[in-house]
Amino acid sequence: MSPPNYYDSYPPLFRPNTTPLNGQVQKNPPTPDPDPLPVIDLERLAHDGERPKLAQACQDWGIFRLVNHGVPTTLLAQLYGHAKRIFSLGFESKQTQTCGPVAYFWGTPALNLAGRVIEREKGPPTSNVKWFEGFNVVMNKLLEVHVDDPLLDSFRLLLEEYGRHQTRLATTIFEAMAKDLSLDQEQSDCYLCPSSGSMRVYRYLRCPEADQVSWGIDAHTDSSVLSILNHPEVGGFQVQKDDEWLDVEPVPNTLVVILGDMMQAMSDDKYKSVKHRVKANKHEERISVGYFVFPDENGVIRSPKYKPFTYADFRAQVQQDLKTIGYKETGLHRFKLNHTT
């Protein structure tokens, strides 16, 4: 049930002085621009029909739109509806009603590294606050707990079902990539670890200072092998291509697949770990669901362009970056063979 005051669902730092009637606000007009992303048909990919097209998208873009993915539209609608209902709960309720594998965060970048939430400090400094809140979900632990609250428990079950589909998609896509990259079976087995799959459910809040704040999340690359994004209604997601930022608007019944840092290293830089960001929006909230899958934590990634390293090594470096400078600055750069400290 939505709280009496709509903005009671916002963390206190983000609550404005005025509340729009019933939470309704002016909406941005739809964009007339065509979809810029390459499109991959999963049904064809499963039979090798799209493999050359996939390889080209990975090399030129590092991101593509996925169609015929087989995730039921009813499941997508239910997951999105539950997310909206949970985010509309009071802020204090969201802080206290989360269960073990589902952790609430807000305001500071929560960088999910193999199921772990890393936050710089307990309370986000206002100078670097970002206008979002979210739930970090450790997929392989979802069925280990039972939640007394019916809404949260049904949300947990929907996330688990959605996660099974995401594992299927990630495995199919990675197998096609492995063939293109001529990875042997041993490499493939440690380079993608389905049990590492995790999810983040975000709500980007209405930001009256959008003209000054600009970004819901700053430009970054993902640390994952693959990330799969579902943002069904509101735009704001942008991707960098040839030093230009392009809008990636919602397209019904499609998903967006993003290549991460680990995939770039595994491909000897043949594939791109693509930079992306989310614009702040003063008129509309944006809800998105991201799935992230990582390598085996201790499997060694070998490339002629990088020092041998494990995902645990990479995660430790990112943790150090977050503690010292507040964000993931260098990513793969520190592991390059020609890197000097």
Q: Is the pLDDT of residue 163 over 60?
A: yes
The letter for the amino acid at 183 is L
CA distance readout (Å), 328 to 140, 225, 314: 26, 16, 11
pLDDT confidence of residue 103: 86
Give the tens place of pLDDT for each residue, 100-117.
788 888 887 554 444 444
Residue 57 is assigned to a structural domain of this protein? yes
For 164-182, what is each residue's pLDDT tens digit?
Answer: 999 999 999 999 999 999 9
Cα R_g (the chain), whole angstroms = 20
Position 228 scores a pLDDT of: 98
What is the mean predicted confidence (pLDDT) over 232-261? 95
Domain annotation covers residue 335: no
> How does strand 255-259 pair with strand 193-204?
unpaired
Q: What is the CATH number of the domain that holds 233?
A: 2.60.120.330
Alpha helices in the chain (DSSP H): 42-45, 51-60, 73-87, 91-96, 150-181, 185-191, 210-213, 261-266, 311-324
pLDDT digits (tens, 9 = 90+) for 41-62: 999 998 877 899 999 999 999 9
How many independent structural domains does the chain possess?
Answer: 1
Asked if residue 68 is part of any domain, the answer here is yes
Of 146-155, 159-168, 323-332, which has the strongest mean pLDDT? 159-168
Residue 312 within any structural domain of the chain? no
At residue 320 the predicted structure's pLDDT band, cuts being 50, 70 and 90, is: confident
Strands 39-41 and 63-67: parallel
Query: Residues 220, 110: contact at Cβ < 8 Å?
Result: no
pLDDT at position 16 is 74
325 lies in a domain? no
Question: 326: buried, middle or exposed (CB in 10 Å: 19+, 13-18, 0-12)?
Answer: middle
What distances in angstroms separate CA 172 from CA 47, 160, 218, 263, one per listed residue? 10, 19, 30, 15
Answer whether residue 318 is part of any domain: no
Residue 311 domain-assigned?
no
Q: 94-103, 121-130, 201-210, 269-278: lowest mean pLDDT where?
A: 121-130
Average pLDDT, rounded, for the chain: 85
Range(s) of the domain holding residue 60: 6-12+27-300
- Cα angle, residue 15 at apex, residues 12 and 21 outer, rounded to 5°: 140
Instruction: Tell me whether residue 120 is in a domain.
Output: yes
According to the model, what pLDDT value does residue 340 have?
57
**Percent of the chain whose predicted confidence (pLDDT) is above 90:** 60
